[in-house]
Amino acid sequence: MAEQPKPISPLKNLLAGGFGGVCLVFVGHPLDTVKVRLQTQPPSLPGQPPMYSGTFDCFRKTLFREAGFGLGKKLQQKHPKDVLSYPQLFAAGMLSGVFTTGIMTPGERIKCLLQIQASSGETKYTGTLDCAKKLYQEFGIRGIYKGTVLTLMRDVPASGMYFMTYEWLKNIFTPEGKRVSELSAPRILVAGGVAGIFNWAVAIPPDVLKSRFQTAPPGKYPNGFRDVLRELIRDEGVTSLYKGFNAVMIRAFPANAACFLGFEVAMKFLNWATPNL
């Protein structure tokens, strides 16, 4: 297995992850809206043109994911130069999924509500802050954090797959005698894009359940995701768990390729500009 790059500081992880998030937003954000709309609209309704939501939630997601992954790696290393096994990389990725849940759940809840109201003909919420305010007034903090368990079920295993696949492909693509840090931009793009596909292959079913649960009227699913799962399979079959598959996969490769390339470029710049940080 090719040598992994030397450990980097959490601050550099954070900054580079943020830049990767910006790249992901510019390349892939519009199709994320299509994904949520496909997952939440009733099957009897015709398709509607997608509505674009704010991009800040996507930036935060990647930023905190990258920082969480760096922390997960650091916790498993007895020595800074230790090379982690693939199961350890998977565990580090899963920690990043846990790390993001507290940030992601409110944003996902608000984003989904704003996206589906466009197809309902009603305008209950005028924007992100208005939606958060009304949710809190009606349901308290639990209303804002509705869907936390499903967000964990989606992000923890998917993030583990995401980062493990990326590191695995980088090692495969590294020529013998070369270091991973010397990997060319096209190979980083392919590794990041394929990692994004693997991530969403794991994440789509719980993401469908999460979107349905977070946009359902109060009290519709008293037993949580189990009720959503039963209803979905009963009414629409097992394949309904992969609603939005095409939109997700069209988005996954270019968006995550751009994300990881942005991360690697930013990391190289930070290592050059601040070698002692």
Question: pLDDT tens for residues 56-77?
Answer: 444 454 455 567 777 788 778 7
Is 225 within a domain? Answer: yes
Residue 223 placed within a domain: yes
Residue 126 confidence (pLDDT) above 60: yes
- Residue-wise pLDDT for 197-206, tens only, equals 999 999 999 9
State what percent of residues in the chain have pLDDT above 70. Answer: 73
Residue matched to tokens 């649960």 = 213
Residue 98 CA, chain-centre distance (Å), reads 12
Classify residue 160: in a domain, yes or no: yes
- Checking if the pLDDT of 179 tops 70, the result is yes
Task: Give the number of other Cβ atoms within 10 Å of residue 44's Cβ.
Answer: 5
Give 100 or 55, the one with higher predicted confidence.
Answer: 100
Confidence band for 45, pLDDT divided at 50, 70 and 90: very low
- Residue 105 belongs to what domain range? 10-36+55-273
1 vs 89, higher pLDDT: 89
Q: Tell me, yes or no, whether 247 lies in a domain.
A: yes
CA quadruple 74, 76, 80, 86: dihedral positive or negative? Answer: negative
> What mean pLDDT, rounded, does the chain reach?
78
Contacts of 217 (CB under 8 A, 6+ apart): none
Token pair 């919420």 is at which residue?
125
> Could you tell me if residue 126 is inside a domain?
yes
Query: For residue 234, what pLDDT is reported?
Result: 94
Cβ partners under 8 Å of residue 66, min gap 6: 13, 14, 16, 17, 18, 20, 21, 96, 263
Model confidence at 124: pLDDT above 50: yes
Start-to-end CA distance of the chain, whole Å, equals 28
Reading the block at residue 107, the tokens are: 């944003």
Q: Virtual CA dihedral for 67, 201, 154, 16, nearest 10 degrees?
A: 10
Residue pair 241/38 in contact (Cβ under 8 Å)? The answer is no
pLDDT of residue 28: 53
Per residue in 223-239, pLDDT (tens digit) is 888 999 999 999 999 99
Return the pLDDT at 270.
66
Residues 20 and 66 sit within 8 Å (Cβ to Cβ): yes
Q: How far apart are CA 215 and CA 71, in angstroms?
A: 33
Classify residue 45: in a domain, yes or no: no
Nearest partner of 97 among 192, 161, 33, judged by Cα: 161
DSSP letters along 76-141, please? Answer: H-SSTTPPPPHHHHHHHHHHHHHHHHHHHHHHHHHHHHHHHHHHHT----SSHHHHHHHHHHHHTH
User: What is the count of structural domains for the chain?
Assistant: 1
CATH of the domain at 187: 1.50.40.10
Residue 50, in any domain of the structure: no
Three-state SS at 44: coil
Is residue 196 in some structural domain?
yes
